[in-house]
Amino acid sequence: MSHNLLWGVDWYPEQWDKTLWESDVQRMAEQGFQVVRMMEFAWPILEPRPGNYDFSLFDSVIDILEKYKLTVVLGTPTAIMPVWLVDQDPTILAVHPNRLTRDFGCRRMGCMNAPVYQKAARQLVQAIADHYGPRQSIIGWQIDNEIGHEGSDHCVCDHCRAAWHRWLEKRYETIEELNRRWGTIFWGSTYTRFDQIPLPRQQVATNHNPALLLDYDRFSSDTAVSWAEAQVQIIRQKARAHQFITTNLYPAPLAQCIDMEDMVRIMDAAGWDNYPVWGNQDEPLPYFFTSYVLSYVRGLHPSGNFKVMEEFSGIQGHTQLGHLPPPEQVALWTNQAIARGANAIFYFRWRTAPYAQEQLCYGIRDTDNTETERERHIITNMQNLSPVLKTFASEPVPAEACLVYDRDTSRLIREQPLSLGMDRRPTSYMQVGYDAELARWFAPYVLYNVNCDIKSTKSVNLDNYKLISLPFYQITDEAFVQKLSDWVARGGHLVLGWRSGSRTTDNWNIDRPLPGLFRELAGIRVTNFEALGTGSTGICLKDTLIHQFISKIITCKGEVWADILEPETATIIARYRDSKKHYTGKPAFTRNKYGQGFVWYLGTSPDPKTTFFLYKSILKQAGLAGRFLGLGIEAVQRITQEGKTVMVLLNHTSKKKRVLGKIIPPWGTLVIDSI
């Protein structure tokens, strides 16, 4: 079957009486769904007793699905485990850094370094792959479920402690080398053996050495990646050629320590769960934030597309509910995901569970199993737009701009947010300050409707782009700075953010004036800096006549941080203007010509108004044809299989809008020929 654009639904037949199965499947088929994702929490059903596998339930279900020509994506159900496994070895339960041992009966409670859990999971996945790998109707696999979510990227149990010591010894070889690079002379924390090194449990007052914390994040990421890779390798040996392998990542992509590029590199595609509103949020995430996350997921895998393994259908939460989006907006979020590179949508979930932890996670249908308003909108949208969306859904998203992030910097921010403005923690285990800052830097591309990729410092191919935004690049790799310099010299345009170049890859403060390795490239010195917390400072744009006029009539602001700049070869394009700041009048933004290219240095994070005016100049100078179509209007350019360029217009407002001569209804989507 064609994989250009898959429409699917997440279904849990084990939670329903089997008399409902056939009518469920028949309705899915009639509505136009092609595929069902299931089984990702079914370990106790598949292996009710150690080593005794029972596939009868899912065999029966797949028989029915095949009868109605539906295909299947199977999840490996290792995000939970059967209770007999915990009875066998209670030490498989993970210990959170807050010293609480996770309980059986929740999810993601196993330690990914526990040998008994690893072995049982591998045996289970082998049995599943042996049984279902040959089956034609299986078209894909989802590895585990939301690996690392809900704080499960960190464990401090004894299994992890042993693995941590092995990991450190491999990395540093000698304890003397570790002591030197961690700076353990400080506070007398010098070690004499690797097995003395603690796992960083939460402390009452002072923290652990940030070098230890950064390595612990790297170690924890490697743990999760190895966990997933072990399963991929087993399935790969048994999977038929048409079956893809993915996993489902989760919102707030950089809040966890796991390197998701590493995670999906041996899979066939990245996958994630798309919930633009969740829990007790009183409004959805801003549409540019969702675009940021969608583009981030797209950038994780070289295929250039991704799969949404869980797409919002009904209102969602575990203990509290919040904003109810209109059903038209639910359909719009689907189309936004496809516009940004999704080529498979699985709605979560077919029908709301009557019981248990997710009884507040509403599906396409409610527990009463009658048609809902949102169901009608979801199905109508799918049926009406699928013919046009599938002409480009599996094609690469063209982009001449790229936002670049750094995984180690994201890890560091969890421990050292630097400014209250970066310290955003919606839950105790989630620090989303770096995500929020990156989304702010992505916003101008959404505002001006310029397609923009998101790539990491280790995977970005600079030559694909005219313009690179690199915010807050603290942990600075010398080789990458050299690549950037060469690229700018050849004509690239780089927008560099505050605090860049301030640390080495060992997390030492750099031993030269800031911005460290970027000094010549940016043509400035950073003479001082201030954390602005949740406040701001006024700034005055002065690059163009329009900027000068704007600065007279409105107050532009910088937020989060203020680097005070001294140009060496750069031109000043904005100054601080704030009577409460002693550095008022000092340069805030600069632009430096370097070879054939230019480097902007933004010493503070521009507020939305400043962003709007500033990026108008930046995009123009970089030769990118940005076009503002109104607040709430998002336009994404795509190229169809036939090579035709089209524009997907998304109206994120509750008002009818006229855009480029076309009328878009509230929360509507239109695909037009590009003009």
Please give the residue ranges that form the binding site for Zn ion (CB under 5 A): 111, 113, 155, 157, 159-160
Q: Quick one: 91 or 617, whose CB is closer to Zn ion? A: 91
Q: Quick one: 97 or 497, whose CB is closer to Zn ion? A: 97
Q: Is 157 annotated as a binding residue?
A: yes
For the chain, give the number of residues. Answer: 675
Q: How far is the CB of 258 from Zn ion (least distance, A)?
A: 15
Please tell me what DSSP assigns to residue 184.
T
- Angstrom distance (rounded) from CA 655 to CA 551: 31
Spatial CA neighbour of 227 closest among 262, 253, 251, 201: 262
* DSSP letter for each residue of 252-303: STTSSS--HHHHHTTSS-EEEEE-SS-TT-SSPPPHHHHHHHHHHHHTTSTT
- Angstrom distance (rounded) from CA 618 to CA 625: 11
- Angstrom distance (rounded) from CA 578 to CA 584: 5
Q: How far is the CB of 98 from Zn ion (least distance, A)?
A: 14
Q: How far is the CB of 223 from Zn ion (least distance, A)?
A: 8
Which residues are CB-neighbours of 88 under 8 A, at least 6 positions away?
Answer: 50, 116
Q: How far is the CB of 102 from Zn ion (least distance, A)?
A: 10
- Angstrom distance (rounded) from CA 555 to CA 459: 38
Out of 40, 310, 415, 634, the active site residue is 310
Are 573 and 600 spatial neighbours (Cβ–Cβ below 8 Å)? yes
Q: What share of residues in the chain are helix, strand, coil (percent, to 5)?
A: 35, 25, 40
Q: Quick one: 157 or 447, whose CB is closer to Zn ion? A: 157
Tell me which residue has tokens 């790539």: 455
- Angstrom distance (rounded) from CA 395 to CA 165: 45
- Angstrom distance (rounded) from CA 607 to CA 558: 6
Q: How far is the CB of 416 from Zn ion (least distance, A)?
A: 24
Q: How far is the CB of 159 from Zn ion (least distance, A)?
A: 5
- Angstrom distance (rounded) from CA 577 to CA 584: 5
Where b means 16+ CB within 10 Å and e means fewer, 139-148 reads: bbbbbbbbbb
Q: Quick one: 102 or 351, whose CB is closer to Zn ion? A: 102
Are 541 and 610 spatial neighbours (Cβ–Cβ below 8 Å)? yes
Other CB atoms within 10 A of residue 281 CB: 17
Is 146 part of the annotated catalytic residue set? yes
Q: Is 387 exposed, middle or buried (0-12, 13-18, 19+ CB in 10 A)?
A: exposed
Fill in the amino acid letter for 51: G
CA–CA distances in Å: residue 570 to residues 38, 470, 517, 594 = 57, 18, 16, 9
Q: Quick one: 113 or 536, whose CB is closer to Zn ion? A: 113
Count CA atoms within 13 Å of residue 429 on its CB side: 13
Question: CA angle 617-620-625, nearest 5°?
Answer: 135
Q: Is 107 annotated as a binding residue?
A: yes
Q: How far is the CB of 550 from Zn ion (least distance, A)?
A: 54
Q: Is 155 annotated as a binding residue?
A: yes
Count CA atoms within 13 Å of residue 456 on its CB side: 19
Q: Quick one: 212 or 432, whose CB is closer to Zn ion? A: 212
Q: Quick one: 160 or 524, whose CB is closer to Zn ion? A: 160
Are 449 and 629 spatial neighbours (Cβ–Cβ below 8 Å)? yes
Q: How far is the CB of 154 from Zn ion (least distance, A)?
A: 9
Q: Is 111 annotated as a binding residue?
A: yes
DSSP three-state, residue 94: coil
Is 310 part of the annotated catalytic residue set? yes
Q: Quick one: 35 or 114, whose CB is closer to Zn ion? A: 114
CA–CA distances in Å: residue 221 to residues 306, 366, 641 = 21, 38, 37
Helix 433-447 / helix 608-621 crossing angle, nearest 10 deg: 60
Q: Strands, E, within 569-625: which ranges?
A: 571-576, 587-594, 597-602, 605-606
- Angstrom distance (rounded) from CA 53 to CA 74: 16
Out of 146, 395, 437, 634, the active site residue is 146
Q: How far is the CB of 203 from Zn ion (least distance, A)?
A: 19
Q: How far is the CB of 345 from Zn ion (least distance, A)?
A: 35
Q: Quick one: 113 or 485, whose CB is closer to Zn ion? A: 113
Q: Quick one: 46 or 157, whose CB is closer to Zn ion? A: 157
Binding site as annotated, residues for Zn(2+) = 111, 155, 157, 160
Binding site as annotated, residues for substrate = 107, 145
Binding site as annotated, residues = 107, 111, 145, 155, 157, 160
For the annotated catalytic residues, the residue numbers are: 146, 310
